[in-house]
Structure 1
Amino acid sequence: MTAMTPARTEPDLSFLLDHTSHVLRSKMSAALAEIGLTARMHCVLVHALEEERTQIQLAEIGDMDKTTMVVTVDALEKAGLAERRPSSTDRRARVVAVTDEGARVAGRSQKIVDRVHREALAALPETDRKALLRTLNHLVGDSLATPVEAPRSARRARQPK
């Protein structure tokens, strides 16, 4: 650090959240890969099982762009886990329907996701886990609920030096 480096007056919340999110995503990716899924595939399966949803609705839930959603559903179809079908309520719309095999795989993948989350939180004492989750839920429901438009968004977490 040089004399010209500005003094930090607050903890680097961006780094802390970005880094933990990046590591958690990498662990999740590795764990789901063991059963041939990506996190996006898991997301689509689970949310398509909840109720009849279109690709557009599932893309919004999973924060995916249109192209990524199409590729994800194509992969699910190729694996025999889901298929595109006409909507029962709007004949112009097509929904993503999960096959019986897809539902079975979604059950396995949800157990994996839950395990990865449980293992991540296991590093903390029980009271700290509850406090962390309560605090994150508060932020997500309040000051960090809605992203703002930025000229260029960062896609990858910063790495510690």
Structure 2
Amino acid sequence: MVRSTSASRPPASEAEGHPDALVGACAAQAEPGDLGWALAVLLRAHARSADRVLQDLPGGARAFRLLSAVEQGQPNQLALAQASGLDKTVVTYLLDDLAGAGLIERRPDPNDRRARRIVLTPAGVERLADFHTRLDRVEDHLFDGLPAAEVTELRRLLQRAAGRVREHDPTTCAHVAALAADLPG
């Protein structure tokens, strides 16, 4: 792989006057094979577009992650926090907003009188399907111009890599439990 030298890159001062200086500077320093740059560009574009298409959802993209976790059958707030990667306190506030919007309900857990199960309401199911459709269009736009087979392969590889990272992420409960088991005492 051939990489350009720093001498071939424009100095940062040339990009500073540009209204989108950060993106301009990143684009000017892009190199073939620079995975971090490519992921950052895609992530920023996805995040901006997702924010726009989810603007009518109380809590935006974070609330969408919660609704998706509810849809996947996460049984309670703690499981939702873990599945969505959100702080438990944030989850509480988001669930309050989603309940206020009529998208979820907190129901008594038949197995634990102290606990509440979080379930989608019929309106929540309908809205979540609409949000999935909107985000599908965002992703289609991001990958416009790539053959469908390549997009499918890219998604598969990214999911596999993300799963491995999540599996080995030191902030996950499974990893912390394994480390704790190795401690003397």
TM range (shorter): 0.7 to 0.9
One-letter identity of the residue aligned with 1:45? L
Q: Percent identity?
A: 27
Higher helix proportion, which one?
2
Matches within 5 A, 1:6-85: 11-34=33-56, 38-51=60-73, 53-85=75-107
Conserved 8 A contact 2:59-2:94: no
Q: Distance in 2 between matches of 1:144 and 1:93?
A: 27
Aligned counterpart in structure 2 of residue 94 of structure 1, from 83, 97, 116: 116
User: Which aligned segments of 4 or more residues in structure 1 are displaced greater than 4 angstroms?
Assistant: 34-37
**CA distance 1:91–1:144, change in 2 (3 Å):** closer
The residue number in structure 2 matching 1:131 is 153
Conserved 8 A contact 2:57-2:63: no
Give the greater-gyration-radius structure (CA).
2
**CA distance 1:147–1:52, change in 2 (3 Å):** closer
The residue number in structure 1 matching 2:135 is 113
Task: Give the 3-state SS of the residue equivalent to 1:42 in structure 2.
Answer: helix
Task: Give the 3-state SS of the residue equivalent to 1:92 in structure 2.
Answer: strand
Deviations 1:45-102 (A, max 9, x none): 2332343610111111111011211121011012121122221222221121222221
Q: Distance in 2 between matches of 1:106 and 1:76?
A: 12
Is there any run of 5+ residues in structure 2 with no aligned partner, and where?
A: 1-5, 8-30, 172-185
